[in-house]
Amino acid sequence: MTRIIKKIASLGLSVALIFALLVVNAPTGILAEPADGAITVTDGEDKIYTDKSKTYIDAETDVFVDAKQDVEYYVLSAGYVDVYYDGGDEAPLGSYFSEPFVNGAWVSTVVGDFANAPKTLLVDDMKVTSPLPAVGQSFELRVAAVKGGADTAVYGHQFIGEGHILTAKFDTDNNKVVTTLDTYSNSTVSGMFIIGIYKDGKLVYIAVSDEFTADSNTAAFADFPVDLSKYPPSGHEYKAFCWNPGFIPLAPAVGVN
């Protein structure tokens, strides 16, 4: 049996209501014709921000909803449910799914009590501004289309702060330092890890990893074997660095925990 999992934003929904909402594609005709079955959001020109997708940004970003006649559009700040596919990587059964989703795919966003959900009506230029989130954090845009009181279509897009997060930690059981770079970017990135060990402010040891390539779906990591008896953490300062091939830092240096 196909399963789904749900992430609820702010306003709680009862289990009964959630399952009632999940029949929107069933052939029973219990809901009105969609006000706007394919909400389109652009940068005001040619770039389209796809529904149920994400974009990495490095600055505050304006987007625009393409309005259709006699349809009202609202930005939701709560009161919606994100639905994700939770099953095997094959074509799922059931009319709710329109394509073969892989496990974890974002299927849809549905609204609970729309009348009481916190929302803002879009007017005039139909512009929504995404603030710049911290690296790896997201601003989640949800837009509902309403016509004649029916709110049957919800658009969702995540704007994520672009950049990289470097972490490093000791593996004392195996005498090594493990470094990891999580990448939040629309493109791939290449680089190398560096470990420096300092004693009384002086560099006493340095090691450089092989070059790696990573993207938003795959974190990069490297292990650095270190003789912790020779360089005990209690008397030395360990720092981790991550630079691109041009020796420009990809992320701020961090201490090793």
pLDDT tens-digit series, residues 150-189: 656 689 999 999 999 999 999 999 999 999 999 999 899 9
pLDDT above 60: residue 223 = yes
Whole-model pTM: value is: 0.77
CATH superfamily to which 163-255 belongs: Immunoglobulins (2.60.40.10)
Residue 103 confidence class, pLDDT cut points 50, 70, 90:
confident
Residue spans of the domains in the chain: they are 4-161, 163-255
Question: How far lies 102's CA from each of 42, 54, 94, 99, in Å?
Answer: 26, 16, 15, 10
Tell me what pLDDT residue 108 has.
78
Q: How many CB atoms lie within 10 A of CB 245?
A: 9
Cβ neighbours of residue 56 under 8 Å, at least 6 residues apart? 159, 160, 161, 162, 184, 185, 186, 216
Cβ neighbours of residue 12 under 8 Å, at least 6 residues apart? none
pLDDT above 60: residue 13 = no
Tell me what pLDDT residue 90 has.
64
51 vs 17, which has greater pLDDT? 51
**Mean pLDDT of the chain, nearest integer:** 82
Tell me what pLDDT residue 168 has.
97
Counting DSSP H helices and E strands in the chain, the numbers are 1, 19
